[in-house]
Every structure is written in C-alpha cells, then in structure tokens.
Amino acid sequence: MENQSTSITPGKWALYIFVAGLPIIGLIMLLVWGFGNDGNNIRKNWAKGMLLLYVIGIILSILFFSLFGLAAIGLGSMESASY
C-alpha cells in the first residue's frame, strides 16, 4: 500500500486544486479533506490552509465592499444636498 502522507503526484495536486476551485463542491471537499480521517496529512494541512485563506478573503471582501458602499452612500447624499 502506498504511503499517502509523504507524497502526492502533480496530477493529484492539479485535481485537488481544480476541485477546490469549484464554488460549493470545493468548499465541501475542503472541509472533508481538512477534517476527515483519511490519514493524508499533507492534503489535510493544505485543505485547512485553503479554508483559512477563504475565510480571510471573505472577511477582506466584506470590509472592502462595506467601506466602498458607505463611501458611495456618502457621495450620493452629498450630491443630493448640493441641489
């Protein structure tokens, strides 16, 4: 039996990255790979890292759109007050 905790072929990495990039299925698979009990520590740590990056990206997106949304509302109220 192959020791899956020490090596992953480039083809498997490409498949993992492709699947992780799918909108809903990718998130589910990252959760399965990150918190499952398959014994592949390399994939498990990679999946947890990707989930962490997704969380950071979501938080930054919320902050970005909130700040620019508030700026747009402020500009809209300034223009309507000048008439």
38-67 confidence digits (pLDDT tens): 888 999 999 999 999 999 999 999 999 998
Q: Read off the pTM.
A: 0.74
Q: Please say if the pLDDT value at position 19 is more than 90.
A: yes
Instruction: Report yes or no on 3 lying in a domain.
Output: no
| Amino acid symbol at 38 | D
Please report which confidence band the pLDDT of residue 71 belongs to, taking 50, 70 and 90 as the band edges.
confident
Residue 40 within a domain: yes
Which whole-number Å values give the CA distances from 49 to 10, 44, 45, 56, 58, in the listed order? 19, 9, 6, 11, 14
Question: When comparing pLDDT for 4 and 77, which is higher?
Answer: 77
Examine residue 50 and state whether it is found in any structural domain, yes or no.
yes
62 occurs within a structural domain: yes
> Rounded to whole angstroms, how far apart are CA atoms 19 and 13?
10
| Token representation of residue 23 | 């909108």
Chain-wide mean pLDDT for the chain? 87
Q: Tell me the residue range of the domain where 39 lies.
A: 10-81
Residue 73's pLDDT band (cuts 50, 70, 90): confident
Instruction: Say what the pLDDT of residue 5 is.
Output: 57
Number of domains into which the chain is organized: 1
